[in-house]
Amino acid sequence: MIPELDIDPYAPEHLIAPYPMHQQLREAGPVVRLRPYPTLVACARHEQVQAVLGDHTHFISGAGVGLTNFHREPPFRPRSLILEADAPLHTQTRAVLSRIMSPKAVQQIRAGFAAEAEALVDRCLQKGENKGEICGIHDLAQAYPLKVFPDAVGLADGPERENLLLYGDMVFNSMGPRNALFEKSVEKVGPVTAWIMAHCQREHLRPGGFGDQIYQAADAGEISQEQAPMLVRSFLSAGVDTTVNGLGNALFALAQHPEAYAQLHADPTLARPAFEEALRWESTAQTFFRTAAVDTQIAGVPVAADTKVLCLLAAANRDPRKWPEPDRYDILRRPSGHMAFGSGIHGCVGQAVARLEGEVVLAALARRVKRIECTGPHTRRLNNTLRALGSLPLRLIPA
């Protein structure tokens, strides 16, 4: 009754080129099974992904939002107090993070973030002039979030910030199977975890920054003192590798679509919708899981209690039932309802910060750069959850 497909979404060929697989999954039915993972069900259509994410009482996060079911296997690291939590804990921690990253708070960091974006694009133009090309990933997509986000959190500057990339790679790999990608990132992250946990402590966090504001919430009794470092860990887990790849994918989209870049250059106010459309077109976080809390159903298909539900956000974002010409990158589309930030009560709490980063970087490019060209083949950094580039050689032609 429920279609069963012989597809491993974590096989390298599908991580490299996921879109044909997404189409197969969407067309097979609203809910499918995957032979390599007999204990889960998967949804790839927009309607069902939205329904599952929108129903947090039947589809919980507390058993983990990766493939591992925390009811049966221990979590790989102490569980996040927001991502891997349900009410009432989630309600309490989310309130604190959502205030720290409220639209008003984001308005206050805007000018600084914009100035950094302009300075960085200037440095990239300079480097491009000297060397003929830049790496869109290393020089721009990584450099920018590694500067502005840890600054906002309140970490000291320095090359150790690269630890955040290794840590993010591990966190997002850990949401998939225990495959070679996971093992490799765990190997590399060894000494990094101690650095991350140390930098969750108040003495490493500039007074007034996002991290310190967590401790202020603990001082005010909104969360406990023991919860504070774990919520800072959420910033350090979720705040860098996500925007690095959101920006990287947006640069890739624009480099592959010169006509879209020309529209952006002609009207830099399109920076925000161009970033948003890039999130739809290449969802940074490709997949998340929920766990059925009770015997329930999706699109009338029975789903037993404790079943893991794989939600293919990236497939929902190209579902032709939802989007006309879904494979087209169209910066005039205004893709409201995309799933790249998830949706429902667990929808990305940092999305205003992420959008700010995307907007100001693309706006700085739009104003200073007439054209961007790929000067050679890009490489991919395979990850069980993230759509990530390893390198993207670009020529920036100044305006």
User: What 3-state class would DSSP assign to 63?
Assistant: coil
Tell me how many residues contact ligand 4IA (CB under 6 A). 10
Distance of alpha carbon 329 from alpha carbon 281, whole angstroms: 6
Contact between 109 and 152 under an 8 Å Cβ cutoff? The reply is yes
Asked if 49 touches ligand 4IA (CB under 6 A), the answer is no
Instruction: Give the closest residue to 150 by CA, choosing from 226, 238, 82.
Output: 238
Stretch that binds ligand 4IA, among 38-46, 78-86, 201-209, 302-310 (CB under 6 A): 78-86
| Cis amide leading into 229 (omega within 30) | no
β-sheet bridge partners, residue 310: 42, 289
Give the count of beta carbons closer than 10 Å to the beta carbon of residue 131: 11
Residue number, 64 or 326, with CB nearest to ligand 4IA = 64
Which range in 76-84, 121-129, 178-186, 254-262 contacts ligand 4IA by CB under 6 A? 76-84
Judged by CB under 6 A, the stretch of 36-44, 75-83, 152-160, 301-309 that binds ligand 4IA is: 75-83
Check: CB of residue 251 under 8 Å from CB of residue 369.
Answer: no
x/- track of binding to ligand 4IA for residues 112-141 (CB under 6 A): ------------------------------
Residues 342 to 381 in contact with ligand 4IA, rule: CB under 6 A: none
| Type of residue at 112 | G
Choose which of 48, 61, 174, 237 interacts with ligand 4IA (CB under 6 A). Answer: 237
Contact with ligand 4IA (CB under 6 A) among 80, 142, 173, 286? 80
Site for ligand 4IA contains 238 (CB under 6 A): yes
The yes or no reply on residue 53 touching ligand 4IA (CB under 6 A) is: no
**Cβ proximity of 22 and 315 under 8 Å:** yes
Nearest to 361 by CA among 235, 220, 244: 244
Residue 48 found at the interface with ligand 4IA (CB under 6 A)? no
Q: Which of 100, 109, 171, 392 binds ligand 4IA (CB under 6 A)?
A: 171
Is residue 234 a contact point for ligand 4IA (CB under 6 A)? yes
283 binds ligand 4IA (CB under 6 A): no
Report the alpha-carbon angle 304-30-238, nearest 5: 80
| Torsion angle defined by CA atoms of residues 250, 256, 258 and 260, in that order, rounded to the nearest 10 degrees | -40
At its nearest, how many Å lie between ligand 4IA and the CB of residue 41? 20
Judged by CB under 6 A, which of 63, 82, 134, 141 binds ligand 4IA?
Answer: 82
Q: Which of 51, 52, 83, 189 binds ligand 4IA (CB under 6 A)?
A: 83
Query: Within a 10 A sphere around the Cβ of 38, how many other Cβ atoms?
Result: 8
Closer residue to ligand 4IA in complex, CB, 234/296: 234
Name the minimum Å distance from CB 2 to ligand 4IA: 27
User: Which residues does residue 285 pair with via DSSP β-bridges, in sequence order?
Assistant: 386
What is the residue-wise DSSP string for 246-270?
HHHHHHHHHHH-HHHHHHHHH-GGG
Residues at the interface with ligand 4IA (CB under 6 A): 80, 82-83, 171, 233-234, 237-238, 242, 285
